[in-house]
Amino acid sequence: MKAINWRKKGKQAVSFALLLWGFFLFGEGLAQWQSTYEDTMAEPEAVLAIVIDDFGYHGEGTEEMIALPVDFTAAVMPFSAQTVQDAQALEAAGREIIIHMPMESNVGKREWVGDKGIFKEMSAQETKDVLEEAFAVLPMAVGMNNHMGSAITTNAEKMQVIAEALAERGMFYLDSVTEANTVCDDCCQKAGVTCLARSVFLDSTDDVETVRKNLLAAAKKAKENGGAVAIGHVGPEGGRVTAQAIWDTYEQIEKMGVRFVTLSEYVQIMGEHTDSSQA
């Protein structure tokens, strides 16, 4: 009978055990690598651009808005008592600025627009002059949106003048969509100007829970469309309430896969033409 080589058998057993151990470790490592790879291949994040209107009066919540932990774009009134001071504070904090241009409205009192703005009875040259003054006051602005303005955003003649002035400076326009029959997109297309549209209004309320719900609705819309634009305000029907709501929800929104961006970033990510059909 042939003798069994126990030393050889022992070496074979040890080798087999090491092979099994290595396979186990490699398999676990492969699973971890696959999991990490799948995480990196998750669906692309959506983007949410928040615009805060009515800077320039140093209204309620100005400091709180400037200190927000997320990117946003500040819309500054060009002809208000503290336009320069608010713009300087925003610039110092690294915030993006657009011009919040006062425009005649079909509703409300004329004085709500302010002493200076764009009105229907103005000639094309008068409109250009007011725009030039606004550009001079806020030279750091990268775009424009309307303060009130339903009478102008539905007036093709006036909007074409505005769009052409923006085109000369490579600026974009954000339609606040205060009127369903807006012609902003058509006029901007003719002038070669990027036109954005507001998706959600966040405030005009003193109820923080309502603003929270509106923020989450904006984030949901961003997830559905790849991006969304939400407008809030400094002042009594926004201000500290809106700032608090953003503080309360921003981490939840980011966990949804939604990233906060400025309007300029939004344009780069979403493309050069975003019309009101997304609102």
The DSSP string of 251-274 is: HHHHHTTEEEE-HHHHHHHH-S--
What pLDDT sits at residue 111?
76
In three-state secondary structure terms, 50 is: strand
Break the chain into its structural domains and give their ranges: 1-42, 46-278
6 residue type, one letter: W
Distance CA 175, CA 146 (A): 7
What pLDDT sits at residue 110?
78
Q: Left, alpha or beta for 177 (phi > 0: left; psi -120 to 50: alpha)? A: left
DSSP 212: H
What pLDDT sits at residue 214?
98
Taking domain 46-278, whether its CATH number is 3.30.420.40 is answered by: no
Distance CA 203, CA 234 (A): 10
Q: Are 99 and 174 in contact (CB under 8 A)?
A: no
Distance CA 201, CA 229 (A): 9
What tens-digit pLDDT sequence spans the chain (279 residues)?
334 443 444 445 444 444 444 444 445 444 454 444 344 334 558 999 999 999 999 999 999 999 999 999 999 999 999 999 999 999 999 999 999 999 999 987 777 788 899 999 999 999 999 999 999 999 999 999 999 999 999 999 999 999 999 999 999 999 999 888 999 999 999 999 999 999 999 999 999 999 999 999 999 999 999 999 999 999 998 999 999 999 999 999 999 999 999 999 999 998 744 543 344
What pLDDT sits at residue 44?
58
What is the DSSP code string of 96-114? EEEEEEEE--SSS-GGGT-
- Strand pairing class (200-201; 195-197): unpaired
| Helix spans in the chain (H) | 6-40, 62-66, 83-92, 124-137, 150-153, 156-169, 184-191, 208-225, 239-255, 263-270
What pLDDT sits at residue 109?
77
Residue 168 CA, chain-centre distance (Å), reads 24
Q: Which residues, listed in sequence order, are joined to residue 103 by a DSSP beta bridge?
A: 118, 148
Distance CA 58, CA 80 (A): 9
Q: Are 260 and 46 in contact (CB under 8 A)?
A: no
